[in-house]
Structure 1
Amino acid sequence: AGAASCTAPGSPLGFLAPDGGGWWSQPGRRLALGALVPTALTGLLWYLSNRTWSAYESQPPPAGAADPDTASDTAPALGRPGFWYGRRIVARLRAAHTAAGLLTVAVAVSAPTAAHDRRAEATAPALEALGWITQALLGAGAVTVAWVVCRRGRSEDRPDHRLDRAAVCLLPGAALALLAAVLLHACWSRPGWTSTGRLPGDFAFGVIMLGQGLCVLALAAVARHLHRRAPDPAAALRGLGGPAVAMLGCALGGVMSGGVAQRVADWMDGGATPGMAGAPLPGPPVLLSWQAAVLPPLLLVLALLAAWFAAGAARTRRRLAAAVAAEYPGESPDEARSRRIAGARTAAALTDSAPWFVAAVSGITLVLGAGALAGAWLSGQVPGEAARGAPPLLETAARTAQDAGSWLIGLGIALFAAWGRRAYRDPAARRTIGILWDVGTFWPRAAHPFAPPCYAERAVPDLTWRMAGWTGRTGGRLVISGHSQGSVLAAAAVWQLPPPVRRRVALLTYGSPLARLYGRWFPAYFGPGQLTALHRDVDCWRNLWRATDPIGGPALPGPDSPEVDRGPLADPLAYGRSARHPLPAPILGHADYQADPAFAAERAALLARLERAARAAGPRTAVAGGMPAQRPGVSKGWEASADPPGTAG
């Protein structure tokens, strides 16, 4: 707002013009006004986290479930009684992160204000002293926030029902009061203060990016060390899956920040290009322009990787198509039909290549990000200006990369918003977003309270209460039927049950990502040892899977594994037309497992098994069967329904 081009007459920011003589013309008051936006955003995040906290993190497990005194050292981590109960830690972290956000805004306002008071000779001594006091309090607040975050970790061995009321109530209030004092200090009249130069955005963005990169490298070193101590062949990228995804998350945040800043600056300076020679605005931080410039090379590398995977998939498809017809005895070969079936299987198999694709993208992102940081700090100019005087081809390439990257970032953000809007009208898009949301919000938000709420912290206790209550009331036995993400919820809920109750539960899973995705990316929770223990703890477990399913797969693959899996199931059910299948049978992939005769056969076998066990146990025991359905308040794809005692589904 200190630039004349942004505060011209008729501009929405005209009342902030530094030469207008108005109350808002002083830089400190403009800073205070601008600080209201991030303050309101921090308050909104606090409100959303606090509103969902009571609905999710505060759902206690059933009394006596997974008693820690009787649990063995090899018990699964998801079976700990406090794993899905984050009432104390999330409330504590919400207070700390809210205070950190408010203190960050206060620092952004206090730093230039106090610096001016120390330089200006006409400043009242009281203002300079107040600046020193507020900055000392800000430092003390930062130390307090770090102490609150680090002093107490997450308790999983027992449900922690206490609340740290001093931290939860006092910390955000004290930070808000300190921010109010800083804003009042900034709004004090300083007639001789004029805005010059830039705010410290370049340095701040550079430090943030460097810190993120160093944290990712440290995380990679720790993960590699842990993997070497206990090698797990099921772990994605040999234990480096977490650091690779963290690198992509940091890059996405930087790219979106750069895109928004570049587009806003471009809108505010009219027809000029921010940061270029002669432009009225100096442009956003130089680092953001360098991040935009490395985006076209990154997309080019991604295109080459996609082409390489596509070529390999085409070869695999041709090889599979030659043998498809032989799997359906008595059918006449149909080349087009075989290609479609082979294509579905090949596309589904690409899921197994995803870890290496993530590794390639994250590695390239790390290298290009380091290059962008070095270019911004060494040159101090945007890529187009830094290449001035270089060979014409190099200078043109730098300017083109910067301009193209800026527009691509803006286009990406627009497409992201359009896809979210499309979910309201297109059921297929809504289903895809729902699946991604379910997977992304499965784990407890014990690391960051401003993350989306973990629905499993409500769904797992609900299902556990239902199973424990029904079996305790009737002495009956249950079949838990879970599809896709529902199978993960079912496994997590069964682990929360006391061992005697687990023996009354049978699992029927289909299209399950337990081993294929969760076991690969989270081997400490869903590795082969944990899934084998799950099979041993429940009465029986059967898992159905298809070769055309991009998500589901075998739960316990391998020749020495227990007999859990049945598959790959035939998909489609029929190759050609017949009296039973007058129309070409569709390729179902991840959907409609209930339409396969194998589902009915396995479900009937489980119910019969439990019914025999019920009769052997005595007249009080009943059997209950569960069919997949949609239930309000829980993830789609699973349900545990208790039939009246004495029935079998």
Structure 2
Amino acid sequence: MLGDPRTVRITGDDTAAIYRRTDDADAEQRPEDYRDKPVAEAYVWCGLTSGNGARALWLLLLPFMVANLAHWMRPSSRGRRRTIRVYGVLVRLLGLTLTVLLVAAACEVALDLTAWQCAGTPSCADDRAWLGFLSPEVSGGGWWSQPGRRLALAALVPAALTGLLWYLSHRTWSAYESAQPYPQQQEQEEDTHRSALSRPGFWYGRPFVARLRAAHTAAGLLTVAAAVATSAARHDRAAGGLALLDGAGRVLEGVLIAGGLIVVYVLCRRGRKDTTVDAHLDRMVVTVLPLASLAVLALCLLYAGWDRPDWVSSGRLPGDQTFGGITLVQGLLVLALAVAATVLYRSDPLSGTALRGLGGPCVAMLACALGGVMSGGVAQRVGDWLDGSATPGDTDAPLPGPPVLLSWQAAMIPLLLVVVLLLVLLFGVRTLRRRRLEQARVEREYPGERPHESRTRKIARVRATAALTDSAPVLIGCVAAITLLLGAGALTGAWMTGEVPGVAAAGAPGFIGGAAQTAQALGSWLIGFGFILFVTWGRRAYRDASARRTIGILWDVGTFWPRAAHPFAPPCYAERAVPDLTWRMATWTQKTEGRLIISGHSQGSVLAAAAAWQLSPAVRKGVGLLTYGSPLQRLYGRWFPAHFGPAALTALHREVDCWRNLHRPTDPIGGPIGLEGECGPAVDHPPLKDPLAYGRTQTHPLPAPILGHSEYQADPAFDEEREELLQRLRPAVTRGLGAVPSQPGPDSEGSQGSSGRSSG
């Protein structure tokens, strides 16, 4: 980044730090040597977003991250504070259903398929020696062979999963959310046009995430307790056994209902508080709620393990009601979220907002779909493995298999893929048409050059492909709508027939019955294969630079935002990076009475803007911004209008000393900011030529590459704009700090410079 192999760390640690060239390490002690040139610094934050291969497991938390994105995608609004609160509550409740869904899937695999069905079926248990001590026939009626004790033992698996999620969230919470913001920000005045990212407590989510984590941990433990206790209570009521056991079961069911209501109340009672730095940690909720839920789980395990000699496992546990209820609640929450988003959008209809304000509900629907595919995929594959070559739902299958709803959902996957394929074909045709239009533009932009058909076609293809980013809202909206309809169809089919699709259509005409069986089998394999592919792709992302770059684009956006809807989402790196940059800029300007330019590329430009918002107004007036390949308007402005809308970016333009933005038509991520000088010179530089030369020239004797999103410093306009910004700041500079960036190495991605640059 600094263009010199000799660097020294100025401040920071191994996770994120500020670096300088070794020759510039003592620049403050030699002000006369830097009176006419800047001191370059680079902020490297790759340790916050990448690491060893174990971090690929974070991809398993993708549904939680996507649900968290839905919280920040709410439309901009005016005077709709109550609707904004309702929107936040709905997203938090939807995040809670995802936790319950994940734990319920673990219960389905461990309790229902393994401990209840397979261990209770001699033909299944005989083939698996590790289940022998749980089988009544294999173990000869051993102590663990009673169904209640089998369920109690298997319940340790989903309980351990809940504990693991708590541990990961607590560990990252201590490392990320605990970063202290710069105290000077508490003196800022409230501005209705300024982004919420400028508020003092925006990047300090420690207390709120702790409350969320306690509620979700309690919900997970109560889900496990309910899976064990309700099965035993159902047997006690049906068998007419001891009144004491029947009464204990009813009491525990009441306690579980009360615990669920308490969790919902804690979740809805209070949202994020970012107008001030919220340092109050509610120990009663954070500590007592998970421990009380753990105690309830222990009581339920003791209750289920009580001696019941006449209890025999048969059929399925009530998983259909569980997964059906979760699916129904999620659908209703998404619809309610769409209503709230529509009300907010109509109060302040900003042009360019993705899906007319429905981006949040659509993304929330995709989060539910991802959670369903991951949970259903695991259950389907484990069910197929346990019952051998039989098809779940067949009359001759040794096991009843997973809940019927999961089979119906699997049968809908091929239909969804057909719709996605049609959309891809549609976008492919549009891209071909756009490429033809771009070919004429390319020839006009390089006058005097001898046309070369293959060169022109290549440049036009890159431009047309880069424009596909702007079609993402249509794709996401269509997929979300189709997913909602297919989910409703799967739920209706499961409740009306009570059988898997292939069996339910057995009496239909041959074509329909065969299509249903094929869709069920194909969908079952697809979601299982998709889950495995998902994990392996995530692992590959930490070994292959190209795969890491592709995934990193979406990952950096998803983990930029604080955890406001789900505490088990991957940690927010900006809660460490933004305070780091703010502290560095504020302390440097106070110490030297100098001014600076903060330069950011791609996601680094978003961090640069966020850090500038956190500065006090006096310090912000001495800051210049140089952004390039920036998604501030093209991505963040469209999908997150409440925080990066035109009013917020205009206020930032007005409050910083100067701001220039570079972009290319071949860049699929970056784009223009769109501020036309309402409060100073226009932000956007005219689109840069890419490639720099069409054919071979004296300056470019070899064919110039098409750079797209990378290497903006290779364009002469970069040096010109940087020098112009430095000249603008120089009259007030006593000791300068500016930007002399270079392309970062492969280990520097995700780096942001308060005087350097970032590659997201």
TM-score, length basis structure 2: 0.81
Distance 1:10 1:503, change over 3 A: closer
Matches within 5 A, 1:465-480: 465-480=583-598
Structure 1 Cα separation of the partners of residues 379 and 639 of structure 2: 34
Q: What is the CA-CA distance between 1:75 and the residue it aligns to?
A: 2.6
Matches within 5 A, 1:318-357: 318-357=436-475
8 A contact 2:324–2:491 mirrored in 1: yes
Q: What is the CA-CA distance between 1:387 and the residue it aligns to?
A: 1.0
Deviations 1:458-494 (A, max 9, x none): 1111111111111111111010000000000110111
- Equivalent position to 2:416, from 276, 283, 298: 298
> Which residue is 2:345 aligned to?
227
Q: Say if 2:738 is the partner of 1:625.
A: yes
- Equivalent position to 1:395, from 500, 505, 513: 513
Structure 2 Cα separation of the partners of residues 581 and 186 of structure 1: 78
> Which residue is 1:109 aligned to?
228
> Which residue is 2:641 aligned to?
523
- Equivalent position to 1:430, from 532, 548, 553: 548
Structure 2 Cα separation of the partners of residues 262 and 56 of structure 1: 36
Structure 2 Cα separation of the partners of residues 625 and 206 of structure 1: 58
Q: What is the CA-CA distance between 1:122 and the residue it aligns to?
A: 4.1
Deviations 1:296-339 (A, max 9, x none): 11111111111111111111111211331331232110100000
Distance 1:304 1:73, change over 3 A: closer
8 A contact 1:482–1:509 mirrored in 2: yes
Code of the aligned partner of 1:31: L
Q: What is the CA-CA distance between 1:612 and the residue it aligns to?
A: 1.8
> Which residue is 1:76 aligned to?
195
> Which residue is 1:418 aligned to?
536
Seq. identity, %: 65
- Equivalent position to 2:359, from 241, 261, 273: 241
Other structure's SS at 1:98 match: helix
8 A contact 1:317–1:346 mirrored in 2: yes
Q: What is the CA-CA distance between 1:370 and the residue it aligns to?
A: 1.1
> Which residue is 1:37 aligned to?
157
Q: Say if 2:639 is the partner of 1:639.
A: no
- Equivalent position to 1:590, from 709, 720, 741: 709
Gaps of 5+ in 2: 1-118
Code of the aligned partner of 1:273: T
Q: What is the CA-CA distance between 1:357 and the residue it aligns to?
A: 1.2
Distance 1:339 1:634, change over 3 A: closer
Structure 2 Cα separation of the partners of residues 554 and 2 of structure 1: 64
Other structure's SS at 2:582 match: helix
Q: What is the CA-CA distance between 1:126 and the residue it aligns to?
A: 3.5
Q: What is the CA-CA distance between 1:10 and the residue it aligns to?
A: 4.4
8 A contact 1:6–1:13 mirrored in 2: no
8 A contact 2:650–2:675 mirrored in 1: no
8 A contact 1:459–1:634 mirrored in 2: no
Structure 2 Cα separation of the partners of residues 581 and 155 of structure 1: 55
Deviations 1:572-623 (A, max 9, x none): 0111112221211110000011111111111111111110233xxxxxx432
Code of the aligned partner of 2:143: W
Q: What is the CA-CA distance between 1:559 and the residue it aligns to?
A: 8.7
Other structure's SS at 1:460 match: helix
Q: Say if 2:485 is the partner of 1:367.
A: yes
Structure 1 Cα separation of the partners of residues 631 and 150 of structure 2: 53
Structure 2 Cα separation of the partners of residues 381 and 190 of structure 1: 30
> Which residue is 2:335 aligned to?
217
Q: Say if 2:210 is the partner of 1:98.
A: no
Matches within 5 A, 1:498-509: 498-509=616-627
Structure 1 Cα separation of the partners of residues 471 and 195 of structure 2: 28
> Which residue is 2:380 aligned to?
262
Code of the aligned partner of 1:624: L
8 A contact 1:438–1:635 mirrored in 2: no
Matches within 5 A, 1:143-182: 143-182=261-300
Structure 1 Cα separation of the partners of residues 173 and 749 of structure 2: 18
Deviations 1:8-32 (A, max 9, x none): 1544322211333111110101111
Deviations 1:334-378 (A, max 9, x none): 100000000000001111111011111111111111111111111
Matches within 5 A, 1:370-389: 370-389=488-507
Other structure's SS at 1:512 match: coil
8 A contact 1:611–1:622 mirrored in 2: no
Superposition RMSD in Å: 1.9
Other structure's SS at 2:472 match: helix
8 A contact 1:459–1:635 mirrored in 2: no
Q: Say if 2:172 is the partner of 1:52.
A: yes
8 A contact 2:665–2:687 mirrored in 1: yes
Deviations 1:31-56 (A, max 9, x none): 11111111001100111111111211
Deviations 1:86-134 (A, max 9, x none): 11111111111111111111111111112222333443x4333333333
Gaps of 5+ in 1: 615-620, 643-649
- Equivalent position to 2:570, from 445, 452, 461: 452
> Which residue is 2:145 aligned to?
25
Q: What is the CA-CA distance between 1:414 and the residue it aligns to?
A: 2.3
8 A contact 1:56–1:458 mirrored in 2: yes
> Which residue is 2:430 aligned to?
312
8 A contact 2:676–2:683 mirrored in 1: no
Deviations 1:601-646 (A, max 9, x none): 11111111110233xxxxxx4320134476999971421149xxxx
Distance 1:131 1:174, change over 3 A: same
> Which residue is 1:600 aligned to?
719
Structure 1 Cα separation of the partners of residues 606 and 366 of structure 2: 25
Q: What is the CA-CA distance between 1:66 and the residue it aligns to?
A: 5.0
8 A contact 1:62–1:461 mirrored in 2: yes
Code of the aligned partner of 1:495: W
8 A contact 1:26–1:190 mirrored in 2: yes
Distance 1:627 1:373, change over 3 A: farther
> Which residue is 2:393 aligned to?
275
Other structure's SS at 2:687 match: strand
Code of the aligned partner of 2:420: L
Q: What is the CA-CA distance between 1:136 and the residue it aligns to?
A: 2.9
Q: Which has the higher contact order (CA 8 A, sep 6+)?
A: 2
8 A contact 1:487–1:512 mirrored in 2: yes
Other structure's SS at 2:178 match: coil
